[in-house]
Amino acid sequence: MPDRYSYPNSLVLINKLGITDYDRWKAVETAAIHQRMVELTEHPIPGQFDLAHLQTIHQHLTQDLYLWGGDIRDTDTHPGGTGIAHCRPPCIVPEVERVFGELAARDHLRGLDADAFADGLAWVWGETTAIHPFRDVNTRSQHIMFNQLARDAGWAIDWSQIPGDVFAHARTLAIVEDHTGIDALIRPTLHRLDAGRPPGEALTVEQVRGFQARGISRTPDVLDRELDAARKRRHTRPAAESLGAKMRRPEPPAPHGGLSL
C-alpha cells in the first residue's frame, strides 16, 4: 500500500533519481545496493552490533537512492502477501534495545560452539526481522550486519547452500512462530574461520550476488516442506540452550500500511 515514502498511487519509493517506473526502479535499486553490499563485505563498517551500527549500514546501502537511509520508519509495514505485521513504529527503538541488549549480554555470540552460535544468531535475526526498523532494505542491511557479526565471532556462513526463498520463509515464520527454521538453515553451513584468513574474505562477492538472486519463489506448501526437512536434519545435532527462551516478544498486531522487504 502506498504511503508517504512512495509516489502517489504507486509502490515505487520516492528516490533521488526521480524514477517512477516500477521495473526500472527495482532494477536500478538492486544494482546500486548490490554494489554497496560488495563494498561492505570488503570494508566492513566498525560498530557495536547495535541499532546505531545497523542504521549506519542501512544509510550506506541506500545512499544513492533514498534520503531516509538509516532513519527509523514512521509507518506500519508487513511482509508482502502474508497478513503479518512488523513491529509498530512507537515500539521499534525499545524492541531493538531489548534484542541487541540481550545480544551484547551474550558477548555478541563470541566463544560459542557451532550449535550455540547458530541458535543465537537465528534468534537475533528472527527478532530483528519482526522489528523491521526501516521502511525498506531491511533484509540486505541485516545480511551485512549479521554476517559481520559471524565473522567477528569466528564463523562464516556458506550462503550457496541456503535457498534464498526458504531462508526468507524461515524469517517470516520467525515473526509469528520461532527462530528454529533460521537455525536449521544456518547451522549446517557454518564454517570456522582460519586464524590466518582475513575476515573480509568470509563473505565473497559471489555470495552477495547469490543472496540477492532468490529466483522464482515457490509456494508456501513447498517452502514449508523444505523447512521441515531442514529442521529434521538439524535435530540430529545436539540441542543448544536457546538464546530467546526467556525473551519472548508480544504477539504482533493486525497489519497496517505498506509492503516492505
Q: Between 25 and 255, whose confidence is greater?
A: 25
Q: CA geometry: angle at 199 spanning 211 and 194, to 5°?
A: 110
pLDDT of residue 89: 97
Asked whether the beta carbons of 73 and 256 are under 8 A apart, the reply is: no
Range in 113-117, 163-167, 184-188, 236-240 with the lowest mean pLDDT: 236-240
216 burial (CB, 10 Å; 0-12 / 13-18 / 19+) is exposed
Radius of gyration over every alpha carbon of the chain, rounded to an integer in angstroms: 18
Give the span between the Cα atoms of 202 and 129, in whole angstroms. 23
Number of Cβ atoms within 10 Å of the Cβ of 6: 20
pLDDT tens-digit readout, 113-126: 999 999 999 999 99
Mean of the pLDDT values across residues 97-106?
Answer: 98
Mean of the pLDDT values across residues 123-130?
Answer: 98
Query: Residue 156 pairs with which residues in a beta bridge?
Result: 191
Q: Scanning the structure block, which residue is given the C-alpha cell 541458535?
A: 119
pLDDT tens-digit readout, 169-190: 999 999 999 999 999 999 999 9
Give the span between the Cα atoms of 31 and 187, in whole angstroms. 30
pLDDT tens-digit readout, 8-22: 999 999 999 999 999
Asked whether the beta carbons of 70 and 58 are under 8 A apart, the reply is: yes
pLDDT tens-digit readout, 30-40: 999 999 999 99
Mean of the pLDDT values across residues 102-112?
Answer: 98
Whether 132 shows a pLDDT value over 50: the answer reads yes
Give the span between the Cα atoms of 130 and 249, in whole angstroms. 10
Q: What is the pTM of this model?
A: 0.85
Give the span between the Cα atoms of 169 and 259, in whole angstroms. 16
- For residue 156, the surrounding DSSP H or E stretch is strand 155-157
Average pLDDT, the chain: 86
